Structure 1
Amino acid sequence: MNDCCEEFGQVSRRGLLRGAAGVLGVGAATSVFGATFMQTSYAATQSADNVLVLLSLRGAADGLSLVVPHADPAYYAARPHIAIPSDKLLAKDGFFGLHPSMKAMLPLWNAGKVAAVHATGLPVANRSHFSAMEELEDADPGSTARVGWLNRLIGQDTYTHPLEGIGLGMSVPITALYGPEPTVTTTSVDDLEVSGADDGTGRRTTSMHTMWSSAPGVLGKGARSALTAVADFTPVRKTAEAPWNGAVYSDDDLGRALHAAARTIKGDVGAQVIAVDHEDGWDMHVGLGTLEWGRMIDNAAALATSISGFFTDLGSQASKVTLVTISEFGRRVKENANYGLDHGHGNVMFIVGAGVKGGYYGTWPGLQNSLDADLAVTTDYRSVLSEIVVKRLGASSAAVFPGFAPETVGAVLSA
């Protein structure tokens, strides 16, 4: 839990972020891994050709620490205490370099499987965690319909398998998944089951079938979908609990969530979209720190370790999985008096895995050494996401991002 930003503290407790959800398979139940939530959307029980993993870094990660613009002199002038020395950076080119704690991702980077797109974000600055998250995940400015972009993406699929509509636990999908299409969440891949059906007799499941088999309306449809989905999730529950191929995850909520996501993909039940929310400590108004101490060291290392472990764990399945990171906004260019950074605008997005053309991308706007200066946005975040959903998932950009004309980013190749 963050102690430096009251608004984000309220959001991360789901008091505002999630909103009302559907009932019994119409919405989604939320998997809780401490501060991390895994939500999975299914297209069918057949094998998915390609899988999108959306990793949200809740709290506004500082992209200027994760991918450092070492050739911009304003970066060092604005951050006299917390700037990362140029000679310590990883994967360094003539302008950018990765935070030194992200060394676990170097094998993926060197293999050309990691792209970093800088100066991305909302077209207009929004410094409210709650409002920015909603705007980012609706991705449909001006619309009165409360439908997230991932829900619209799911709606492009012609399949109607009930695993699109199971709700167990907290029925509170993230905004990106919210809408008329069914989604499913679970506290863990081993605990996706009918509540109370643990006595080995099957009576609870039988009674549920009897009660809901001919029930009309939304509740009846949702209940039937939930029962079928639980049964069809069995291949995931049967996957080995231990990571494959010697994979190592960070020992935290993010690592556990990405491990669960890997098991879901290896279970091969047709998952096409997996959203993982990581809310632990990215809102660094205080104590972002240096290379000797501070919160960014641990967060950057955990992020890199878990992403690397995820793709190692997937083995041959990695060839169909593309992961993208996103955060609601970036942070100010200039450090504050508490070795931290206040709310800003532009940020960096990582794209990792299948179909990625590795390297640094984006149009650099230049930085200013001013207390109120932001990293300006030169690439709308929807252009990055659009390139993935069109080239990897074969979806319509116009349907997923209504009214938006994406620009070419160049970091993603067609499937």
Structure 2
Amino acid sequence: MTGPVTTMTSTTSCCPEYAALSRRGLLQGAAALAGTTTVLGSAVVTASPATAASAGSVLVVLSLRGAADGLSLVVPHGDPVYYQARPRLAVAADRLVNKDGMFGMHPQLAPLEPLWRSGRLAAVHATGLPVPNRSHFAAMEELEDADAGSAERQGWLNRLVGTTAGDSPLQGFTMGGGVLPTSMYGDAPVMAAASLSQTRLPGDDQWDTIGGRVRSLHTLWDADASVLAGSMRSTFRAVEALAPASATTDNRGRYPAGDLGAALSQVARVVRGDVGVEVITVDQGDWDMHTDVGNLEWGRMRTNAGRLAGSIAAFFDDLGDQASKVTLVALSEFGRRVQENANWGLDHGYGNVMLLAGAGVKGGRYYGTWPGLTNDLDSDLLVTTDYRSVLSEVVTTRFRASTATVFPGFAPEQVGVMTSL
């Protein structure tokens, strides 16, 4: 392949003999023999048009990396402490959109108003981890593993994919960085790619008019019995199965500038290609705003919020007749302090907001129990809804999955943000 494309499963759980093969050796062998191919997996992983059948529901998990400030995205204008704690950064109540008596959205989220008015967008406030964790990396891992206290390396989305029929790596897909997040890691086969244009075999381009490179790779690997050969055959099948998505129209020009717009435009093509994808992860970074949050006229919050809303709105428009099966959840590893700091910024906090859009969402309203804010240097938005309660409603209503399987040991509380299929 021509870019960072990964098909991945555990190399020890299904076949003991794989344990003798080091990951580094597998990667070096793949890179040396197949250009820039990166493959982790086994011969039992398959991805063909037969196994990559049409998915009934698609979940897109959008991670706002760096701890987005939920108090800026969904403003508690009905809580007077918010304006006391943020004399420079607070968003004026008369500028908010999708406003009710307590909450309203940042004006840069205005592109999401049609989703809100049509009942396809909701927000759940004061959500988060069971206990505060202010380390970005530790909190991300805890959030995405979603199995507190377990030493097993398996993410909640990988467990979700494992509950559905089929063994195609296209069922779980990470788009944008080519690296799997913790949520996708585990036994079930999944795939990662930087873009659709990079999910092809090296040399399979306009210069190879007779298809010699691909035939040579098949000759080299198809009859080989080694573990590496099995991974190569899995790669061949994954590329073949993804072909319908690669053939779809690229509507990147409809999206805002930036990495999120680029990634979601690719995700829309994967969904429209109807290749059997069930779970897709996407990241938007640069939310760690200790400085330069800014106000409604300038600053990083204004830019990020605008790109977030514009990209999500363009994504649902781009999905066409596939939009009715797609649910998007946006979340971040933790929130930020209630009180602004001296640098026009916000330091690491605790509670946050989750956004849900699309299929099955009972939208047009805000959910959660508001704990009230306090105004002192160390004050946080407290968590009144465990984020897993929100995700549990998504996986049970959209996939009929067992909460006990996807979130081991967790007993969810009712949020009411999702409706059944």
Correspondence for 1:154: 161
Correspondence for 2:9: none
1:333 and 1:165, CA in 2 relative to 1: closer, same or farther beyond 3 A? closer
Give the superposition deviation at 1:188: 1.5
* TM-score relative to the length of structure 2: 0.85
- 1:152-197 CA deviation, whole Å, 9 max, x = no partner? 1111122123545999998631111111221112221122111233
- In the alignment, the residues of structure 1 paired with residue 118 and residue 297 of structure 2 have an alpha-carbon distance, to the nearest angstrom, of 29
Correspondence for 1:71: 78
Contact 1:163 1:225 in 2 (8 A): no
Correspondence for 2:265: 259
1:229 and 1:200, CA in 2 relative to 1: closer, same or farther beyond 3 A? farther
- In the alignment, the residues of structure 1 paired with residue 351 and residue 174 of structure 2 have an alpha-carbon distance, to the nearest angstrom, of 35
- 1:99-158 CA deviation, whole Å, 9 max, x = no partner? 011110001111111010000111010000011011111111111111111111111122
Which range moves more in the overlay, 57-66 or 390-399? 390-399
Give the superposition deviation at 1:216: 4.0
The SS at the match of 2:125 is strand
Choose which of 91, 94, 105 in structure 2 pairs with 1:87: 94
Correspondence for 1:36: none
Give the superposition deviation at 1:275: 0.4
Aligned pair 1:221/2:230, yes or no?
A: yes
Aligned pair 1:314/2:319, yes or no?
A: yes
Structure label with greater radius of gyration: 2
Give the superposition deviation at 1:27: 6.1
Amino acid paired to 1:330: G
1:365 and 1:44, CA in 2 relative to 1: closer, same or farther beyond 3 A? farther
Give the superposition deviation at 1:204: 2.8
Aligned pair 1:335/2:349, yes or no?
A: no
The SS at the match of 2:198 is coil
- In the alignment, the residues of structure 1 paired with residue 377 and residue 172 of structure 2 have an alpha-carbon distance, to the nearest angstrom, of 47
Correspondence for 2:244: 235
Which range moves more in the overlay, 174-183 or 155-164? 155-164
- In the alignment, the residues of structure 2 paired with residue 93 and residue 63 of structure 1 have an alpha-carbon distance, to the nearest angstrom, of 16
Contact 2:60 2:328 in 1 (8 A): yes
Correspondence for 2:54: 47
* Aligned-residue identity in percent: 57
Correspondence for 2:297: 292
Correspondence for 1:107: 114
Correspondence for 1:209: 218
- In the alignment, the residues of structure 2 paired with residue 385 and residue 167 of structure 1 have an alpha-carbon distance, to the nearest angstrom, of 18
The CA RMSD measured in Å over matched residues stands at: 2.3
Which 4+ runs in 1 deviate beyond 6 A?
165-171
Give the superposition deviation at 1:225: 1.1
- 1:346-379 CA deviation, whole Å, 9 max, x = no partner? 0000000011101100011111101101100111
Contact 1:26 1:166 in 2 (8 A): no
* TM-score relative to the length of structure 1: 0.86
Correspondence for 2:416: 410
Contact 2:175 2:281 in 1 (8 A): no
Contact 1:26 1:165 in 2 (8 A): no
Aligned residues: 379
The SS at the match of 1:233 is helix
Aligned pair 1:346/2:355, yes or no?
A: no
1:330 and 1:165, CA in 2 relative to 1: closer, same or farther beyond 3 A? closer
- In the alignment, the residues of structure 1 paired with residue 151 and residue 86 of structure 2 have an alpha-carbon distance, to the nearest angstrom, of 41
Amino acid paired to 1:234: A
Aligned pair 1:139/2:108, yes or no?
A: no
